[in-house]
Amino acid sequence: MSIDNSDNEVLQQAIEWLDDGRLVELITVARTFGSSPRPPGSLAAVRDDGHLVGSVSGGCIEKQLAVRINEDTRSRSFAHEISNEEAKKFGLPCGGRIELVFEALDDSSELKKVVDAIAKRQRIARTLTLDTGTTEITEVDRDTNFHFDGSQIRKIFGPGWRVLLIGGGQLSRFVAQFAQALDYEVVVCEPRPEFIGAWNVDGCIVTDSLPEDAVLQYATDQHSVVLALTHDPNLDDSALIEALPSNAFYVGALGSKANNERRKKRLVGIGLEADEVARLHGPVGIDIGSRSAAEIAVSIVAELIEKRNASEKAQRSTR
């Protein structure tokens, strides 16, 4: 089984409420100013009696939103900025402010299409035009991102990033579940029959091709992660030979510090450039004293979060 991401949880609950005959407001973070706890695109849904699922502020203003929605006259859709005064009253940190888009829902059919696409690991955009309340669902590529211009809001659902796991053992299963919860598309390369038959995480692409072929097919762009997790140098090194010279965002390999130093020397010895080998994260993951497979998986995914957030922050600062 895989772990649902937060968007899917919000949509599933909204569908359940709507199918029970309740009215629902879907709330999306459109813009943030200053130190806001939740990024643009974050979702919440509020039932007509104030029950809420999801988060648009990390818990600071959700209760107040639920109360105010009950008091407001329902309009099809509108944007509202939480003012400085409201931000202080509601407890947003460091003077942060947020602009939210509210959308009144009374039918679940379109949300079900979105949930179905998520289940199929498709990447789609749901675009809402505020003044008309009309929506459109389209398939998009991994370079299409969240957008809000004051009149339209485009929310992306589905994986924008892909992780290729070399090996289908217990560690890979934990990593796959955590990665899916973070909206990664997961590809598992496992050429060993005794392992591929035991794979039990739904929603993954599973291939028995050779690791070097899997890298070339699935994981050479800047939104890809390659994790060599077999502990078999023949398999792991085959993947790294193709992944390290590529544009893959992150390349990591399992093993001790000593093993990884030997691996780096080995890779240079077979023709990789020193700067390419220097890209290798090994031992993979943040050092949190991990011992069990689940703990190692947490450390790996934590490092992916750290690197992605740092990269996205750097990109925002140059715009």
Contacts of 197 (CB under 8 A, 6+ apart): none
Q: Do 11 and 83 belong together in one domain?
A: yes
pTM of the model: 0.74
**According to the model, what pLDDT value does residue 80 have?**
64
Is there a single domain that holds both residue 177 and residue 106?
no
Give the pLDDT of residue 74.
47
158 and 122 in contact (C-beta within 8 Å)?
A: yes
Q: Are residues 78 and 180 in the same domain?
A: no
Using alpha carbons, list the distances in angstroms from residue 15 to 8, 105, 117, 128, 175. 10, 10, 15, 18, 29
CATH number at residue 276: 3.40.50.720
Host domain of residue 258: 161-312
Q: What is the spatial distance between Cα 242 and Cα 260, in angstroms, rounded to a whole number?
A: 17
User: Residue 121 has what pLDDT?
Assistant: 75
Q: Which residues pair with 190 in a beta bridge?
A: none
* 102 and 208 part of one domain: no
Query: In which residue ranges of the chain is pLDDT below 50?
Result: 1-2, 59-60, 73-74
Helix (H) or strand (E) holding 207: strand 205-207
DSSP at 198: T
**193 and 128 both lie in a single domain:** no
Domain count, the chain: 2
Q: Phi/psi zone of residue 82: left (φ > 0), alpha (ψ -120 to 50 degrees), beta?
A: beta
**Cβ proximity of 47 and 24 under 8 Å:** yes
Are 16 and 133 part of one and the same domain? yes
Decide if 206 is inside a domain: yes
pLDDT at position 282: 92
Domain boundary among 122, 140, 157: 157
Q: What is the CA radius of gyration of the chain?
A: 22
Dist. CA 239–CA 101, nearest whole Å: 44
pLDDT digits 0-9 by tens, 54-104:
877 654 455 555 555 555 544 566 666 665 566 555 555 555 577 888 899
Under 8 Å CB-to-CB from 65, ≥6 apart: which residues? 27, 44, 46, 52, 56, 100
Q: Contact 191/235 with Cβ under 8 angstroms? A: yes
DSSP 8-state secondary structure symbol assigned to residue 89 = H
Classify residue 141 by burial, with Cβ atoms within 10 Å: 0-12, 13-18, 19+.
exposed
CB 245 within 8 A of CB 218: no
